Amino acid sequence: MADASNPATGTNLGRVLIYAALALTCLYYLLPLYVMVVTSLKSLDEIRTGNLVAPPQNLTFDPWIKAWSSACTGVNCGGMRGYFMNSVMFTIPAVMLSTLIGAANGYVMTMWRSRFSDILFAALMMGCFIPFQVVLLPMARTLGVLGIANSVLGLVFVHTVYGLAFTTLFFRNYYITIPDELVKAAKIDGAGFFLIFRRIILPLSIPIIVVSVIWQFTQVWNDFLFGVVFSSGESQPITVALNNLVNTSTGVKEYNVNMAAAIIAALPTLFVYVVAGKHFVRGLTAGAVKG
Amino acid sequence: MSALSIREVRKAHQGTPILKGINLEIEDGEFLCLVGPSGCGKSTLLSMIAGLDTIDSGEVSIGGRVVNHLSPKDRDIAMVFQSYALYPNMSVRENVSFGLEIRKVPQAERQAIVQRVAQTLQMEHLLDRKPSQLSGGQRQRVAMGRAIARDPALFLFDEPLSNLDAKLRVEMRTEIKLLHKRMGTTIVYVTHDQIEAMTLSDRIAVMRAGEVQQFASPQEIYDNPVNLFVAGFMGSPSMNFIRAKVETQGAGFGLRLDTHGASHLMPAQGIDAALRSRVGQEVIFGVRPEQITHRPDGAGADQLHTLRLPVELVEPTGPDTLLLVPINGQEVTCRVHPTHACAAGEHLDLTFDLSKAVYFDAKTEQRLL
Ligand SMILES: Nc1ncnc2c1ncn2[C@@H]1O[C@H](COP(=O)(O)OP(=O)(O)OP(=O)(O)O)[C@@H](O)[C@H]1O
Ligand SMILES: [Mg+2]
């Protein structure tokens, strides 16, 4: 009996340690978020006098309202609202376009291979390692030539192009696990390039589409550098606006408004993770599609 | 008009020749098996017939029409793959009707065809399942259904049974044969299982390293292999190849066979011309295990030759017992009825039926005739 119970206690102890470690890690990551939330719900007076981690005594939503609709970023005092919409306006098309084109790229590179597939793939992979800073000048010139500099359309273009390397990598590596006999069978059934993509390949791609969308959404929404360089004034994304808000030097620092604005800026990515995070992990580890 | 004709088809990958001039021709309704060891180019040849890969030179015609430059969908073929390649996101019904839908077959007709195919293959109860909810044998069935639904001029099968377990494989083999009998379509069937090839086909093409070694009926290939490779590939247990020296024996020739302590001269008939120039040299004497057996009652005597041989090992298989005897330093397999088998270590009278014995050149391994 003693023999039997020892391993059991061992597992239990191990479990306790694991959960303790997990809880600590959670706490470590959630504490800043907690501080942000409570600070955004306090009045400035309470922030000045009270404890950083203490819950708000007099709950107020004024900082949120101000952050959303009337906070000043530089000379402009319309709150985050407009910039939030800007971000939505270029993030959604950029995510959709880069995912779709990435899927098409991956499809061509795996299912319709030519001599150039591998060279092209290697070249695209370089794209994953090119730092943002390197593409700034050529991109500015390109946007100028295309006549879409300083516009939401320009940002859509920049993010789509920059994201392609990653989305292509995702889809290519996923499609390589799909047996090519599937495509051969479809060819013999009489299906052509687009039909096979639409009817056979895309329906199998849900897990990797989720991965690509989450990745691209996070990248594009959180981007600061492209936003600050390729847009100005009214067309700036929320990340840039948040920076401007926090750095506006007139008057007292409104920590509560800043926190509320920061949470507003982070909310969409949080939302995407909560909704699709489960699929994200599943998609990253998804393997061959067994027929 | 032949159903399929392949003339001088060649293919190379990055300079390495894969197919080195293939010539095959089969008639309407024939069942052709392509057999050969792994990597000999069977799948490659099938892909060229299907149009999934281009040929470097030569000509493929299906039903008298040269199809070299036609895409797979215009060749009037259907194919069953080793991995079945069912569309995972579609139900069985959709899998079967996908090809029909693309070919713009009207909805009502499509349904009728699916129903008929499902009946033929006894899979009506599976129609609404996804491929992931099917067993290996059921997937196999659906893959065949998808091919049948299109009613093509030519069926191509690439090792369709190799993913099934042994018992199911035999069942499906019978089913395919019945199906072929019932529908009478022309079939090209790739396998590296020689029993499958023997049982199913009207004609077999034995391939090695991108070349067809022999193209003939199963019995012809079994009885009259053109070279050592074909003789060794077809048949299980495999044919015995005994290296033996040629000697003169009266007016004819014989082969010197030595076992422990005893030496025999085995007459070799019907190939005098080939042996005359080889006296004193070695040739390879090919004899199948079932041609070395206990003495049959009252059989024609002049083709039979009995030797008393020491038995080294006894392997009962059920219907027959295999005995291993040493001849010229090699293990030779004999096949006797279990009631005639003896224990290992004993001597047994074993009769060689020389009417079906074959002889090969020791160097070129070609058949001596
Ligand atoms: N795309 C390719 N590039 C280079 N070599 C190839 C390619 N495809 C096939 N080969 C070579 O061609 C030869 C024949 O391949 P094939 O698939 O036709 O063999 P097989 O007879 O079907 O073998 P198995 O019984 O294993 O299926 C092999 O040696 C293989 O390595
Ligand atoms: Mg093969």
Residue A7 has pLDDT above 70, yes or no: no
Report pLDDT for A2: 45
The reply to whether B82 touches chain A by the CB within 8 Å rule is: yes
The residues placing their C-beta within 5 Å of ligand 2, an ion, are: B 43
State whether residue A118 sits within 8 Å of chain B by CB.
no
Average pLDDT, chain B: 92
Tell me the per-residue pLDDT of B49-71, one tens digit each, with 9 for 90 and over. 999 999 999 999 999 999 999 99
In A72-153, which ranges are E strands? none
Instruction: Write down the pLDDT at residue A118.
Output: 85
Average pLDDT over residues B98-103: 94
Nearest Cα residue to A205 out of A98, A97, A91, A102: A102
Averaged pLDDT for residues B310-324: 93
The bound ligand whose nearest atom lies closest to the alpha carbon of B45 is: 1
Q: Does the beta-carbon distance from B102 to A189 stay under 8 Å?
A: yes
User: Which residue in B has a C-alpha nearest to residue A189's C-alpha?
Assistant: B99
Subunit contact B72:A181, Cβ cutoff 8 A: no
Query: What pLDDT is recorded for position A290?
Result: 47
Contact B78 A204 (CB under 8 A): no
B104: left (phi over 0), alpha (psi -120 to 50) or beta: left
Nearest CA distance, A176 vs chain B (angstrom): 15
Across the strands, what pairs with A270?
A: none
- Give the closest of B82, B85, B103 to A190, CB-based: B103
The pLDDT value given to residue B299 = 56
User: Which are the contacts of A252, defined by CB distance < 8 A and separation ≥ 6?
Assistant: A44
**Coil, strand, or helix at residue A261?**
helix
**Band of pLDDT at residue A106, cut at 50, 70 and 90:** very high
- Comparing CB atoms, the residue among A179, A195, A203 nearest residue B102 is A195
Q: Above pLDDT 70, what percent of chain B?
A: 98
Please give the pLDDT value at position A284: 65
Cβ-nearest to B83 among A179, A199, A204: A179
Would you call B14 an interface residue with chain A, using a CB distance cutoff of 8 Å?
no
Q: Which residues contact A199 (CB under 8 A, 6 or more apart)?
A: A186, A191, B87, B98
A196 touches chain B (CB under 8 A): no
Confidence (pLDDT) at B52: 93
- Average pLDDT of the residues in A77-100: 92
Please check whether residue A115 touches B, CB under 8 A.
no
Give residue A206's pLDDT: 87
Average pLDDT for chain A? 87
pTM: 0.82
What is the distance in A from the centroid of ligand 2 to the CA of B19? 13
* pLDDT of res. B287: 95
* Domains of chain B: residue spans and CATH: 4-225 (3.40.50.300), 240-361 (2.40.50.140)
Mean pLDDT of B97-111: 94
Whether residue B17 is preceded by a cis peptide bond, meaning omega within 30 degrees of 0, is no
Taking the CB of residue B359, how many other CB atoms lie within 10 A of it?
22
pLDDT value, residue A10: 63
How does residue A5 score in pLDDT terms, banded at 50, 70 and 90?
Answer: very low
pLDDT of residue A276: 81
Q: What is the pLDDT of residues B4-19, one digit of tens each?
A: 999 999 999 999 999 9
CA of B36 relative to ligand 2 center, distance in Å: 10
**Does A185 sit within 8 Å of B131, measured CB to CB?**
no
Per residue in A209-253, pLDDT (tens digit) is 988 999 999 999 999 999 988 888 888 899 999 998 888 766 778
Unique residue bearing structure tokens 């501080």? A35
Q: What is the mean pLDDT of residues B114-135?
A: 92
- Taking an 8 Å cut-off on Cβ atoms, the answer to whether A186 and B103 are in contact is no
pLDDT tens digits, A153-184: 999 999 999 999 999 999 999 999 888 899 99
pLDDT tens, residue by residue, B235-271: 989 999 999 999 998 888 999 999 887 888 998 878 8
Average pLDDT of B305-314? 91
A12-38: average pLDDT: 92
**Peptide bond preceding B289 in cis form (omega within 30 of 0):** no
| Mean pLDDT to the nearest integer, B88-96 | 94
Residue nearest to atom 24 of ligand 1 (CA): B38
ipTM comes to 0.84
Q: How far apart are CA A208 and CA A214, in angstroms?
A: 10
For residue A291, pLDDT over 50 is answered with no
Q: Does A6 score more than 60 pLDDT? A: no
Averaged pLDDT, A104-124: 88
What is B160-197 written as a DSSP string?
TTTTS-HHHHHHHHHHHHHHHHHH--EEEEE-S-HHHH
Ligand 2 centre to CA of B43 (Å) is 4
pLDDT at B298: 60
The token duo for A285 is: 């580890």
Question: Would you say residue A3 has pLDDT above 50?
Answer: no
Q: Is the dihedral of CA A171, A176, A179, A182 positive or negative?
A: positive
Instruction: Give residue ranges with CB within 6 A of ligand 1.
Output: B 13-14, 18, 36, 38-44, 192
**Residues β-bridged to residue B268:** B253
Chain A CB contacts of B50 below 8 Å? 184, 188
